[in-house]
A and B are shown apart, each in its own frame.
Chain A
Amino acid sequence: MSAENYPRLYLYRRMVDAKLFIDRHYLDPINIDCIASEACLSKFHFLRLFRQMYGITPHQYVTRLRIGKARELLQAGATISDTCYTLGFSSLSSFNKLFRQHLGVSPSGYAVSAQAMNSKVAASPMQYIPQCFVAYMGWDKQQFSTTETR
């Protein structure tokens, strides 16, 4: 790969290493200084490059990861307080506010609807799969038996 087609290869690799560091440690008490040091860059240079490469700041990215993890935990049945403190939010009110900002719903509202959906899908999975796929994949054998197998 020529240098003109792939500018600043060394910088990209350092930034990607830093981003993967965030992916592995976002539940730990990391800060911008230790992340920037993973990239061997000054804090300000790192912030500017991160935003240029990923479209958001490192702080916004960490928050997005934590809210995504919160969704998973709440869907799996974790309590709101356990989710909040496991993910390192400083208080239930700050967790509630950030969750709502990102997903447009409170953690409790999300948990209730996610649990209800889990129960409905477990009870009647076919209701949540487009019927054309049910037939196409042979899960509705009664419909499929009149069609020649491909």
Chain B
Amino acid sequence: MITKLSHTSFFVLDVHSAKDFYVNKLGFEVKMNVPVGNDGLWLTVAPKGQDIEITLIPVNNELMFKKDTSEKLAELIKAMAFGFGVFECVDVFATYEELKTKGVEFIKAPTKIGEKPEAMFKDDSGNFFGLCQASSHSESKKQ
């Protein structure tokens, strides 16, 4: 019986630049940072305190992808074809101001959709994410 999602993956253009983005700009913590072989890296990150590991997978991994596949993936990422999820915060406007100050590029500034403010941003590769405000429903799910 499946009990939870333990790992998920984001494709990125450069794993070191992505690590700087997720850790130093978004404030995530590094869960695993394991060199593998000569130039491989198993790097997982997560929002602080959340029990999940987000694997940052570079698309220029020659062991995973042929060169033309890698190039196509890179073009798709830069064209914002991939949105990997929605992040939650206590206050979207405060988080928006802070992330903007740290250099995060927003596709959509916070606006209220229904009762909940939401925004959208992209990472240093081009993957886009929603940013929404935790609701009382989300809070009760955590309990």
Check B64 against A53 for contact (C-beta < 8 Å): no
Asked if A44 CB lies within 8 Å of chain B CBs, one says: no
Question: Of A16, A126, A130, which is in contact with the most chain B CB atoms at under 10 Å from its CB?
Answer: A16
Complex interface residues of chain A between 1 and 50 (CB less than 8 A to chain B): 1, 5-7, 12-13, 15-16, 19-20
On chain B, the residues within 8 Å of A109 by CB distance are none
On chain B, the residues within 8 Å of A90 by CB distance are none
Chain B interface bracket (under 10, 10 to 19, 20 to 34, 35 or more):
20 to 34
Asked if A136 CB lies within 8 Å of chain B CBs, one says: yes
Check A150 against B69 for contact (C-beta < 8 Å): yes
Check B97 against A138 for contact (C-beta < 8 Å): no
Check A54 against B94 for contact (C-beta < 8 Å): yes
Task: Using CB atoms, name the residue of chain A closest to B93.
Answer: A12
Bound Cα distance A149, B40 (Å) = 17
Asked if A68 CB lies within 8 Å of chain B CBs, one says: yes
Complex interface residues of chain B between 25 and 73 (CB less than 8 A to chain A): 29, 32, 34-37, 40, 42, 48, 55, 57, 61, 63-66, 69
Asked if A59 CB lies within 8 Å of chain B CBs, one says: no
For B110, give its contact among A5, A137, A141 (CB under 8 Å).
A5
On chain A, the residues within 8 Å of B93 by CB distance are 6-7, 12
Contact with A along B115-131 (1 / 0, CB 8 A): 00000000000000000
Contact with B along A47-65 (1 / 0, CB 8 A): 0000011110000000000
Q: Given A20-B98, A128-B32, A139-B40, verify A54-B111 contact (CB < 8 Å).
A: no
On chain B, the residues within 8 Å of A7 by CB distance are 93
State how many angstroms separate the Cβ of B63 from the closest Cβ of chain A.
3
Check B34 against A52 for contact (C-beta < 8 Å): no
Q: Given A136-B64, A149-B66, verify A16-B94 contact (CB < 8 Å).
A: yes
For B55, give its contact among A16, A133, A139, A144 (CB under 8 Å).
A133
Q: Given A12-B97, A20-B101, A53-B90, verify A137-B34 contact (CB < 8 Å).
A: no
Bound Cα distance A138, B109 (Å) = 40
Asked if B20 CB lies within 8 Å of chain A CBs, one says: no
State how many angstroms separate the Cβ of A14 from the closest Cβ of chain B.
10
- Chain B residues within CB distance 8 Å of chain A: 6-7, 29, 32, 34-37, 40, 42, 48, 55, 57, 61, 63-66, 69, 90-91, 93-94, 97-98, 101, 109-112
Of all A-B residue pairs in the complex, the 7 with the closest CB atoms, nearest first, are: A138-B63, A53-B94, A55-B90, A16-B97, A53-B91, A125-B34, A16-B98
